[in-house]
Structures are given as structure tokens and as C-alpha cells.
Amino acid sequence: MADITSVDKVTEKLAKADIESGEEDIEDEEDDEDVVPQAQIVEESTKIDPKAGAKIWYGHEESMKKAAELLEKFGLPVGLLPLQNVIELGYVESTGFLWLKQEKKIEHAFPSIGKQVRYAEEVKSFIEAEKIKKLEGVRSKELFLWVSIVDISVEGDKVHFKSFANISKTFPVEAFAA
């Protein structure tokens, strides 16, 4: 509390000194309103829209058809994204950014491997040859917990899933056939 009072007193003394010396500058006060803090400029300039330059498909049929094409193109099992009522799919070819939006989140069972998976209303990732990276919106049930899946990769006849906690699980690729 003493520090704040000291700062207030110093500020008050400086203001009085400026007034007494006639150096109060009204123009500077007006200019200060237009000044954008440097931190704000840096923060706004580093925000990049990952969807910029995307091709977008609308409706379930069209979106799921394109999703299957992209998964096949990148050597990934088509059954990885068993979404329902998809309303939008977007893909940025230059970065590999991919997103799908569905009407509501769903839960899907993969009976051959005994796993329950939840897909959020929006699933986002970066896709490349045999990999899905920085995945958001997909969770798998492990015991009594729902664990976020962040990376998926395919090696031969195996699909590897990795969580935030660096926990990995591997399953046969056939478990994700469409």
C-alpha cells in the first residue's frame, strides 16, 4: 500500500511541476487517445487466420465426400472421422489446415477395438501424408477419463494415437475402415 501512495505522490508532484512551469500540453493528451500500445500491435499482428485461403464445402453429403477424398489422398483410414450431420468442411491446401463442423457433438463406438470416441461440434487439425497433427475436438475414453487425442499417424497396417500427456495407443488400420 505504501508503494502505491508513493507513486501517487510522485505523479501528483510531477503534474504540479508541469502546470507551474507552463508545460502542460493539451495536444499530447489528445494524441494519447489515438496511441495504440505496442503490445496490442504485436498481439494483433501475430494473429493469423488459419482458415484464410480455404476451400469450403457445405452440407453433410458434400463435406463427407471431400473428407473421405482428403483422408485417402493422405494415406489415412476413411473411418477416422465418422461424423454425423456435418454442415461444413474447410481445407487450406497451402497449410494443410482442415476443419469439420457438425450440428452437435457425437459419440462413436469402435467395437473392434473396444473404444468410445467423442467428436466435438468442430474438429480441427493439420493434415499431411499419413499424419493428422494438432488435432482438436476428438477425445477417447480411457478407463473413466476422456483423453484428448492430438496426433494420429499411420505406419504400415497400424494407426498410432497420441494424447496431450504423450500417452500413445496403437490399433490395426482395419479398425477404422469405412
The answer on 155 and 80 residing in a single domain is: yes
125: cell is 487439425
Reported pTM: 0.71
The answer on 76 and 154 residing in a single domain is: yes
Residue 55, burial from CB neighbour count under 10 angstroms (0-12, 13-18, 19+)? exposed
Instruction: Let me know how long the chain is.
Output: 178
The answer on 98 and 38 residing in a single domain is: no
More confident residue, 142 or 161: 161
* Domains in the chain, number: 2
Domain that holds residue 27: 2-46
Identify the pLDDT of residue 30: 45
- On the question of pLDDT at 24 being above 90, the answer is no
The answer on 21 and 90 residing in a single domain is: no
Q: For 71-112, what is each residue's pLDDT tens digit?
A: 999 999 999 999 999 999 999 999 999 999 999 999 999 999
How far does the chain reach from its first CA to its final CA, in angstroms? 66
Task: Tell whether the torsion through CA atoms of 99, 104, 109 and 115 is positive or negative.
Answer: positive
The answer on 147 and 129 residing in a single domain is: yes
**Per mean pLDDT, which range of 45-54, 97-106, 114-123, 149-158 is the poorest?**
45-54
Q: For 115-137, what is each residue's pLDDT tens digit?
A: 999 999 999 999 999 999 999 99
- CATH number, domain at 78? 2.30.240
Q: Compute the average pLDDT of residues 133-153.
A: 95
CB 91 within 8 Å of CB 66: yes
- On the question of pLDDT at 68 being above 60, the answer is yes
33: cell is 487517445
Q: Look at strands 158-163 and 55-58 and give their pairing.
A: unpaired
The answer on 157 and 82 residing in a single domain is: yes
